[in-house]
Amino acid sequence: MKIEKIENNNSRCLTFFFSGWAASSIQFRHLRSDSAVWIAYDYRDLQLPPIPENYAEIHVVAWSLGVWVASQVFRDSRLASATAINGTPFPNHDQWGIPRVVFQGTLEKLDEKNFARFCRRMCGSKTLGQQFEVLEEGRIPELKDELTFINRELISRPANESFPWSRALISRNDHIFPFENLRNYWCHAAVPVEELDAPHHPFHLWSSWEELWMR
């Protein structure tokens, strides 16, 4: 995976954000923070770098397929909170994630036309979808490699339901992870749920990373 590090030498607090598939760090740069922020993306491997000891407090925020990634790779006792946004530890699942036929179809049919359709569904509008698509222009081979890797790891790794999520934010207008599947999983996991009036990509709702913490 790639990680963009926005350091703050005056802070002993770190926000560690696990983005979703097909996203890069640029889509989240409008979010301000008084803490340091690390943004993980491009999951063509799951190698997590060590986190410096000077961070006494770590807040995990994970979105979409990043929820599964975080639950697989993050092991740090300094975790102060963990917020899951529109994802579950079962991303390829008919009741708790993306329906299997949809997940497989996205992988098998990924091209520029279908990626544009995916962006529109993810962002909830043609205009916002086009903005997201432009940011990832020319990356279709990389995105297919990333999704292929994730699919292979999903088969070989058991889901981790022991990750200590503090809360889950789920969007009523999510057309990637069906809303009912999100609600079903987080109720099953007994994790507090907050519903959002937003599409799968809901980051226009916030202006800072601190808004996503649960203390």
* Predicted confidence band of residue 134 (pLDDT cuts 50, 70, 90): low
Amino acid at 34: D
Q: What are phi and psi of 169, to 5 degrees?
A: -105, 125
Mean pLDDT of the chain: 92
Q: What is the DSSP letter of 39?
A: E
SS3 label, residue 108: helix
Q: Cβ–Cβ contacts within 10 Å for residue 49, how many? A: 10
The pLDDT value given to residue 137: 67
pTM, whole model, 2 decimals?
0.94
| Domains with residue ranges and CATH for the chain | 2-212 (3.40.50.1820)
pLDDT per residue over 66-106, tens digit each?
A: 999 999 999 999 999 999 999 999 999 999 999 999 999 99
